[in-house]
């Protein structure tokens, strides 16, 4: 068989190691996974109730338009119902954007390091991927602008950026948007927006009114805690939503996921509690990193990008042996903020690797 040439050497996405695998391989009883930015506090109790109430509906196809969720989310966000598109995770919205806007002969501009799904999808579609190095962990918007040309159809702005945790302030984003050509789509991926504390974070949904070439991506996988169910959404002008709907599969968000997202959205108190607990967890992690004297970026998210001098793959392996799963990047590690106890365990493992007690 002859596959498409450009997919043959595509890297296969490596998810964070599953807890059960690590337990089995290493014979450990307790393993902490702080690798995929999941919510350590789970999801609102209303979510489970909502799912159980729907278990008789399994033979029926889901509502392909997500009408109930659409209506609730539109009023919550104060946007039009026709300005929303739902996906099987926001990962799927990324795929829809790429399907609808990129092809061979076009290009797309993104930061590096950033969320890897943009590049993979663009490569599958045959577009040229232009990567612009971050400066001190932040998008270099001027350098990105300089790389945009007539063939640039999509620019990716991950805000705050995964894996570095840093955000772009509203003022800087506006200056950028003012210079991006009208025919280039700007994707603002805000998967962590609910964790952001800074007042300077862009009010992106307001920006949609002025800039017709923006799509804002958000997800129920992070603070809402239902990553397993896969619900993400995009907010954009109707014209963009229309294009995405043309390449979308008819029943892309399943019924239980729609009901769960609806229940999760209704419990903003849970969201707020998680946000506060995360802020405390960040402070806990920073304090230990400061003591260890290891460099890191101060995060607007539920993860921290840490840049120890030691090889990151080695740190990953050593921490794994102690039952702590984190994420290794070429020059850094990324740890998700967990519960207080999980953070404690993670920090103890990190400390033992970076500053082993002298004999």
Ligand X SMILES: *Cc1c(COP(=O)(O)O)cnc(C)c1O
Note the residues at the interface with ligand X (CB under 6 A).
Answer: 37, 89-91, 115, 158, 162, 189, 191, 219, 221, 227, 232
CB of 235 to ligand X, least distance (A): 14
| Cα 7 to Cα 11: distance, rounded to the nearest angstrom | 9
CA 335 to chain CA mean position, Å = 14
Name the nearest CA neighbour of 15 among 324, 274, 325: 325
Contact 255, 62 (CB under 8 A): yes
| Residue number, 89 or 281, with CB nearest to ligand X | 89
Residue 324 φ then ψ, to 5°: -125, 115
Task: Give the DSSP H or E segment for 256.
Answer: helix 255-266
Q: How buried is 206 (Cβ within 10 angstroms: 0-12 exposed, 13-18 middle, 19+ buried)?
A: exposed
Closest distance of CB 192 from ligand X, Å: 7
Residue nearest to ligand X (CB): 89
- Which of 232, 172, 234 shows the shortest CA–CA distance to 201? 172
**Of 335 and 349, CB closest to ligand X:** 335
- Least distance between ligand X and beta carbon 67 (Å): 20
Task: Rank residues 163 and 281 by Cβ distance to ligand X and give the closer one.
Answer: 163
Nearer to ligand X, 127 or 157 (CB): 157
Of 165 and 323, the one with the shorter C-beta distance to ligand X is: 165
Smallest gap from Cβ 303 to ligand X, in A, equals 9
Compare residues 26 and 247 and give the one whose CB is closer to ligand X: 247
Q: How far apart are CA 299 and CA 270, in angstroms?
A: 21
Closest CB to ligand X among residues 40, 232 = 232
Cα–Cα distance measured from residue 29 to residue 227, given in angstroms and rounded to the nearest whole number: 24
Q: Which of 268-285 are b and which e, b meaning 16 or more Cβ less than 10 Å from the residue's Cβ? A: eebbeebeebbeebbebb
Query: Least distance to ligand X from the beta carbon of 325, Å?
Result: 16
Q: Least distance (Å) from ligand X to the CB of residue 61?
A: 22
Q: Which two tokens stand for residue 121?
A: 């999808």
Q: How far is the CB of 88 from ligand X (least distance, A)?
A: 8
Question: Is the Cβ of residue 127 or residue 217 nearer to ligand X in the bound state?
Answer: 217
Tokens found for residue 30? 């307790």
Q: Of 101 and 156, which has the nearer Cβ to ligand X?
A: 156
CB of 96 to ligand X, least distance (A): 12
Q: If we measure between CA atoms, which residue out of 229, 259, 320, 236 comes closest to residue 25? A: 320
Provide, rounded to whole angstroms, the least separation between the CB of residue 91 and ligand X: 3
Query: How far apart are the C-alpha atoms of 160 and 175, rounded to whole Å?
Result: 17
Q: Decide the pairing of beta strands 214-219 and 232-236.
A: antiparallel
């Amino acid at each position: 068989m002859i596959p498409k040439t450009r997919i043959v050497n595509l890297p296969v996405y490596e998810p964070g190691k599953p807890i059960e695998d690590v337990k089995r391989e290493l014979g450990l009883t307790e393993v902490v996974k702080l690798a995929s930015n999941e919510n350590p506090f789970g999801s609102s109790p209303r979510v489970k109730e909502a799912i159980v109430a729907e278990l008789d509906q399994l033979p029926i196809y889901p509502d392909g338009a997500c009408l109930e969720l659409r209506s609730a989310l539109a009023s919550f966000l104060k946007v039009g119902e026709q300005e929303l598109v739902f996906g099987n995770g926001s990962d799927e919205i990324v795929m829809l954007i790429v399907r609808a806007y990129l092809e061979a002969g076009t290009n797309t501009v993104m930061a590096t390091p950033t969320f890897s799904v943009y590049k993979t999808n663009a490569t599958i579609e045959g577009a040229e991927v232009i990567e612009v190095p971050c400066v001190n962990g932040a998008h270099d918007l001027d350098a990105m602008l300089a790389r945009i040309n007539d063939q640039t159809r999509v620019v990716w702005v991950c805000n705050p950026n995964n894996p570095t945790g840093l955000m772009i302030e509203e003022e800087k984003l506006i200056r950028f948007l003012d210079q991006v050509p009208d025919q280039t789509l700007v994707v603002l991926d805000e998967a962590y927006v609910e964790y952001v504390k800074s007042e300077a974070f862009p009010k992106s949904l307001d920006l949609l009114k002025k800039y017709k070439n923006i799509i804002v991506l958000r997800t129920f996988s992070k603070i809402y805690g239902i990553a397993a169910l896969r619900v993400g959404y995009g907010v954009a002008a109707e014209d963009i939503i229309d294009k995405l709907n043309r390449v979308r599969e008819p029943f892309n968000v399943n019924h239980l996921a729609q009901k769960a997202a609806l229940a999760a959205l209704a419990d903003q108190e849970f969201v707020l509690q998680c946000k506060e607990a995360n802020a405390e967890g960040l402070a806990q992690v920073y304090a230990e990193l400061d003591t260890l004297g290891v460099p890191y970026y101060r995060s607007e998210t539920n993860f921290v990008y840490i840049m120890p001098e030691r090889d990151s793959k080695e740190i990953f392996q050593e921490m794994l042996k102690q039952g702590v799963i984190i994420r290794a990047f070429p020059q850094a590690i990324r740890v998700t903020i967990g519960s207080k106890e999980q953070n404690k365990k993670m920090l103890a493992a990190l400390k033992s690797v970076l500053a082993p007690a002298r004999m």
